[in-house]
Chains A and B, each alone.
Chain A
């Protein structure tokens, strides 16, 4: 308490000295750490013509973003760009803000961001753009960017999944079902609608008997897959445009030999989760986009923005290394390409 009279100074002296010591320690830590940083930063800021990009994923330690940032680093290497990956460990709405600020302050020429919260980062992204920093959104769009590198369009996903299924069913077609995730998930519902519309238009021999929802929960999706296979006797295929649903549909199929070879499962899945089913032949093919290519393209887009090859205007074109030429579409969107198909040959190559 404030009015303690004895033993006062020694205790406080001890606290004071110790805190100072702690700070000194921290500071030496800082100084040591910063010893490496400024050399690259200094070069980036002072070099003028040098290009640099900071990738800010939704969070660190996420395999999907590790893959995309790996592709981004590869592209930056090819382009001779200084590459940095920095991001939060949590996915709160404002958690990415300090990293945008740091990128502005350290004179980065461009920022590529997968925003957790497209609005919350806007203020700082606008600040960045007002200082000439080019902003590329990847994976998730925000309002305040120069271009958005979109991994997949609704139609692209629908076309990809319907093509896989139609190719499998062949001429005779048959009855299929859709197993989605949450009934209220906007992106999933858009895909489901597009899949149904496309089947109606192009494949009159295929009927969608039912749309079920796994609610993003393993157990629920498993039970829904079970329900579909039991209640629809002539079911030939399930399309599951949700990573949990496709995994659990495959899981149920693996547990139930009588449906194997009878019901065919495909959807949007993660290679790490689907590998065991693909390798055992339960699932032949499934789709997603390739996050490494997504990061790779985002780096090339950032470089093209810095160089002035593109400005985000519709119709601008640029070369993206091994991926070839890309054109900026409506609203500054650059679409990665058709759905990437995983099968027995390539599923083991991906770690996300």
Chain B
């Protein structure tokens, strides 16, 4: 908030005010290295290095292959949800959208529709949920938390209801094999390519376009953003649709990865997605965060899981470690924020007296 008051005219009109943003009081290397994202990435690297030397059987391509395979759905879905959280909204329905899209995809395939068309139907089914979320949040004006908790239950119910206790499993093996195959000669699966491409797209959208600046502006203050020409509701609606489209596509991918369409697919994934994003330094209050950070948060959790599993540590302990890491990172970020705000307000006071 104090940032906004510091440069009140900065957000709305990009062109003339732009020069102001370029005033950096620290050199480039400090700005690059001393960020939450850098800290998380460093943590990942340290973790991998130490695991390589201390955890038996860790240092092999299979570790990385499975690490990414296991976390791919979360890594894919967190990308658009990051943008939603930066606007100050939240989307808790992604796990259910995954299940819903999986069910639609499975049913369509079972009905004899060609697998490619069935996949498109699955993705579109996801997109429809996004439209519903978006309309309820923007046009009806309900809080996104309430709306997406509602659709979380609603679409899980529909997904489970559509298939009942049955599941569709007879997908062509050459396609399901291809889903988990390594990418070229690299020790990572094919889906890595999708994650990287989508991350670049969403990163560019968030950090290098007027749309992205609008996303940050909405997170800072929707009123200010609206007054400065950001089409707030349109932006939020688009984000919800994007989020559900990606969740829908993830549903199709997940179905093929495990060669199983069932309504319970993706159960509980929404919380893993939000955990990764918040761990990656994105403010749950909106207005602050990066795609790189969120992605790094997801990778850190994936690496932690893999390391602890290989070290023979039980899943209950892994949950404890992940939870503790999240709380630690949030507490530290907020304490650090509090300290820096106090320093800054003192500095501003001095400046004010000086002028």
A87, B340: Cα distance in complex, Å: 44
A6 within 8 A of B: yes
B174 within 8 A of A: no
Partner of B35, one of A3, A12, A23: A12
Partner of A4, one of B3, B39, B66, B335: B3
B332 within 8 A of A: yes
A84, B42: Cα distance in complex, Å: 33
Partner of A117, one of B31, B260, B305, B307: B260
The winner among B176, B265, B281, B310 for most chain A CB atoms within 10 A is B310
Q: Which residues of chain A are within 8 angstroms of B306 by Cβ–Cβ distance?
A: 98
Partner of B332, one of A18, A36, A98: A18
Partner of A119, one of B40, B216, B258: B258
Q: Shortest beta-carbon distance, B77 to chain A, in Å?
A: 14
A20, B43: Cα distance in complex, Å: 6
B315 within 8 A of A: yes
A11 within 8 A of B: yes
Find out whether the CB atom of B55 lies under 8 angstroms from the CB atom of A34.
Answer: yes
Find out whether the CB atom of A22 lies under 8 angstroms from the CB atom of B325.
Answer: yes
Given A18-B336, A119-B260 in contact, is the A6-B25 Cβ separation under 8 Å?
yes
B143 within 8 A of A: no
A100, B1: Cα distance in complex, Å: 48
Partner of A93, one of B7, B30, B264, B333: B264
A155 within 8 A of B: no
Q: Shortest beta-carbon distance, A43 to chain B, in Å?
A: 11
B329 within 8 A of A: yes
For the side of the interface on B, what is the size category?
A: 35 or more
Stretch at the interface among B46-54, B120-128, B129-137: B46-54
A30, B303: Cα distance in complex, Å: 12
A194 within 8 A of B: no
A174 within 8 A of B: no
A117, B165: Cα distance in complex, Å: 11
A134, B315: Cα distance in complex, Å: 23
Proximity bits, A56-97, B CB within 8 Å = 1, else 0: 000010000000000000000000000010111110111001
Q: Shortest beta-carbon distance, A209 to chain B, in Å?
A: 28
Proximity bits, A112-156, B CB within 8 Å = 1, else 0: 000001011011000000000000000000000000000000000
Find out whether the CB atom of A8 lies under 8 angstroms from the CB atom of B310.
Answer: no
Find out whether the CB atom of B268 lies under 8 angstroms from the CB atom of A90.
Answer: yes
Find out whether the CB atom of A16 lies under 8 angstroms from the CB atom of B35.
Answer: yes
Q: Which residues of chain A are within 8 angstroms of B25 by Cβ–Cβ distance?
A: 5-6, 8
B309 within 8 A of A: yes
Nearest neighbor of B220 in chain A, beta-carbon distance: A1
Interface SS of chain A: helix, strand, loop or mixed?
A: helix
Partner of B42, one of A2, A12, A20, A98: A20
Find out whether the CB atom of A5 lies under 8 angstroms from the CB atom of B31.
Answer: no
A193, B252: Cα distance in complex, Å: 38
Partner of A14, one of B40, B339, B347: B339
Which residues B292-326 have CB closer than 8 A to chain A?
A: 304-317, 319, 321, 325
Stretch at the interface among A101-109, A240-248, A318-326: A101-109
A36, B311: Cα distance in complex, Å: 9
A13, B26: Cα distance in complex, Å: 12
Q: Shortest beta-carbon distance, B106 to chain A, in Å?
A: 11
Q: Which residues of chain B are within 8 angstroms of A281 by Cβ–Cβ distance?
A: none
A1, B213: Cα distance in complex, Å: 10
Q: Which residues of chain B are within 8 angstroms of A185 by Cβ–Cβ distance?
A: 165
A184 within 8 A of B: yes
Find out whether the CB atom of A11 lies under 8 angstroms from the CB atom of B339.
Answer: yes
Find out whether the CB atom of A60 lies under 8 angstroms from the CB atom of B315.
Answer: yes
Find out whether the CB atom of A33 lies under 8 angstroms from the CB atom of B26.
Answer: no
Given A93-B262, A117-B262 in contact, is the A19-B40 Cβ separation under 8 Å?
yes
Which residues B208-266 have CB closer than 8 A to chain A?
A: 216, 220, 254, 257-260, 262, 264-266
Stretch at the interface among B57-65, B108-116, B148-156, B193-201: B57-65
A37 within 8 A of B: yes
Q: Shortest beta-carbon distance, B145 to chain A, in Å?
A: 23
Nearest neighbor of B345 in chain A, beta-carbon distance: A7
Beyond contacts A18-B336, A41-B312, A105-B62: 5 other A-B pairs, Cβ-Cβ < 8 A, are A14-B335, A30-B55, A30-B307, A30-B313, A119-B258
List residues of A whose CB falls within 8 A of some B CB: 1-16, 18-20, 22-24, 26-27, 29-31, 33-34, 36-38, 41-42, 45, 60, 84, 86-90, 92-94, 97-99, 101-102, 104-107, 117, 119-120, 122-123, 184-186
Q: List 6 A-B contacts (CB under 8 A).
A: A5-B6, A7-B344, A16-B36, A26-B47, A92-B268, A101-B309
List residues of B whose CB falls within 8 A of some A CB: 3, 6-7, 10, 20-21, 23-26, 30-31, 33-36, 38-40, 42-43, 46-47, 50-51, 54-57, 60, 62-63, 66, 70, 164-165, 167, 169, 176, 180, 207, 216, 220, 254, 257-260, 262, 264-268, 281, 287-288, 290, 304-317, 319, 321, 325, 328-329, 332-333, 335-337, 339-341, 343-344, 347
